[in-house]
Amino acid sequence: MSKKFFFIFSSFYLFIFLSFHLSIFSSFQLFIFLSFYFSPGFFLYNGDMSRNLLTIPGVTSIILSISS
């Protein structure tokens, strides 16, 4: 499994874990997260699998989901 897919799956499961752990999980927040998560601009690809950076929409959706 490549580093990119490992990062995607690990960050997704981390989000789910934090959501249930903090008891803030809702279908609306999941929809917002997934819409940014699977959008083409979620990753900035720099030509190396180990250099995938989160874009502002992805980080913002995660922060809003955790803090709300």
Q: What 3 state SS string does the chain have?
A: CCHHHHHHHHHHHHHHHHHHHCCCCCHHHHHHHHHHHCCHHHEECCCCHHHCEECHHHHHHHHHHHHC
- Domains of the chain, by residue range, sit at 3-67
* pTM as predicted: 0.28
| Least confident interval from 6-15, 20-29, 50-59 | 50-59
**Range 11-17 average pLDDT:** 70
Examine the pLDDT at 49 and tell me if it is beyond 60: no
Examine the pLDDT at 45 and tell me if it is beyond 50: no
50 pLDDT band (50/70/90 cuts)? very low
